[in-house]
Structure 1
Amino acid sequence: MTEHIIEEAPNKPGRKEMNPLLKFALELGPLMVFFFANSRGEDLARTFPILGELGGPLFIATALFMAAMVIALAVSWAVTRSLPIMPLVTLVVVLVFGGLTLWLQDETFIKMKPTIVNALFAAVLLGGLMFGKSFLGYVFDQAFKLDDEGWRKLTFRWGLFFVFLAILNVVVWKAADAYYGPGQVSDDLWVDFKVWATMPITIVFMLTQIPLLKRHATEPLGGKKE
């Protein structure tokens, strides 16, 4: 039986699924590592001197974030024997921009990463719709089942939301630098926003999509189809 390296299309029979809680943990875990390493960077450098050679807290956080992303994707592969598309794209961008951040000792690159990733996701989702592909189904089909029209509408809305997140990251980053000046304080504010604000904003957006999910569900949310 041929294994698919990249996850198969949503609703395809025989597609291996991951426990939703495990999937959420793998997606959130690297972010939590990033936040912890940034907030405890000096302590980590004292405990593990090799980390101190990377630079300040943000550089230590960047290195550990990259490692956590690789581990999360490896666990995903071990469980499903396939690689999820969006985390894979995120990993590639993280490795490129994280590597530049560490090599050039310039936090600009890691701060650009969320904007690049979100803009790329928006381009993939909205561009896919132009070719009749609803790529969002690859991400959420384990959480709920929708008809084709539902996936198209949800993909379009998420595409616009990713555009919003891409712009918002730049606004927060530049506003923090302008108000506090480039340095650890503005870095901490940006990291706090990335970890603690982006997720609630995303959750609020997801809650606003519940009516659409109910209208286009092929299996009623929270119950069996009658």
Structure 2
Amino acid sequence: MAEKTINPLLKSGLEYGPIVAFFAAYLLLKDRVFTFGGAEYEGFIAVTAGFVPLLVLSTLALWRLTGHLSKMQVVTLVLVVVFGGLSVWLNDDRFFKMKPTLIYLLFGGALGIGLLRGQSYLEPLMEAHLPLNKQGWMVLTKRLTAFFFGLAALNELIWRTQSTEAWVYFKTFGLTAAVFLFFMSQGAVFRKYGITKEGDQG
């Protein structure tokens, strides 16, 4: 089913609103401790407990309005529910902090499998936005695969060696900025392998 067009601001709000809400709630509640059912929960766990259903609702709303969810959105939602739920249930923040690692390993692994088969699994997902020839897609996919594995390793390093607050800042701003900078740095690939409507120019 073709994706329906909705207000760009609404779409962005549904996609990024839960992340902004998580960050704001963490800043407000990070030093508080909540008692529930005789157990004490730190602010991070309480915020995670609120983030999981919020992401579920926003993703369902996005699907309802657009009639479409990307594979990345579906995988992210499943991992947030599973690992966020485990963090809350077991009162252990490590599960939620490992979630980005698994996401990037899954995406990097999927792209890597495609490369081993001589294919770019990135092409059908982004070809409408990035007009590249076949060689260009293979180059970009190789670089993105390595980039995803690098982000997975970096997330492990940060959450295992830094404070929870440092990890929250890294997750909210660092990872987002890293993805943006990656694509900004690929200008040479887009110029060399880009195609026009008249045909391949790479």
Looking at secondary structure, tell me which structure has more strand per residue: 2
Find the partner of 1:69 among 25, 35, 55.
55
**Does 2:161 correspond to 1:167?**
no
- Map 1:72-151 → 2, pairs under 5 A: 72-151=58-137
Indicate conservation of the 8 Å contact 2:15/2:58, yes or no.
Answer: yes
Which consecutive unaligned segments of at least 5 residues does structure 1 have?
4-14, 177-185, 221-226
1:11 is matched with which residue? none
1:19: how far off?
6.6
Partner Cα separation in structure 2 for residue 147 and residue 19 of structure 1: 30
1:38 equivalent to 2:15? Answer: no
1:216/1:61 CA distance change after superposition, 3 Å: farther
After TM superposition, give the deviation of residue 42 of structure 1 in Å.
6.3
Counterpart in the other structure of 2:200 = none
Amino acid at match of 1:126: G
Normalized against structure 2, the TM-score is what? 0.81
Matched residue of 1:83: which SS? Answer: coil
Q: 2:14, 2:123 → 1: CA distance?
A: 18
Supply the AA of the counterpart residue of 2:178.
I
Find the counterpart in structure 1 of residue 193 from structure 2: 216
**Deviation digits for residues 116-170 of structure 1, max 9, x if unmatched?**
1111111011112223442323543453332333222212211110100000011
Deviation at 1:205, TM superposition (A): 1.4
Deviation of the 1:29 alpha carbon:
2.6
Candidates 186, 200, 207, aligned match of 2:184: 207
Structure 1 counterpart of 2:177, which letter? P
Q: How many residues align?
A: 195
CA change 1:123–1:42 in 2 (3 A) is closer
**Cα–Cα, structure 1 residues 154 and 75, in superposed 2: closer, same or farther, change >3 Å?**
farther
1:58 and 2:44 aligned:
yes
Large movers: runs of 4+ above 3 Å = 15-27, 42-46, 137-143
Partner of 1:7: none
Q: TM-score if structure 1 supplies the norm length?
A: 0.73
Question: Alpha carbons of 1:54 and 1:62: their partners in 2 closer, same or farther (altered >3 Å)?
Answer: farther
> Which segments of 5 or more consecutive residues in structure 2 lack a partner in the other structure?
198-202
Task: Assess, with a 3 A threshold, how the Cα gap between structure 1 residues 64 and 138 changes in structure 2: closer, same or farther.
Answer: farther
- Tell me if structure 1 keeps the 8 A contact 2:26–2:43: yes
Q: Residues 17 and 142 of structure 1 are in contact (CA less than 8 Å); yes or no, is this contact kept in structure 2? A: no
**Which whole-Å deviations, capped at 9, do the CAs of 1:152-206 have from their partners, x for residues lacking one?**
2212211110100000011111221xxxxxxxxx111110111122222222211
Identity of aligned residues (%): 34
1:55 match: secondary structure: strand
Q: CA deviation at 1:17?
A: 6.5
* Structure 1 residue 219: Cα displacement: 4.2
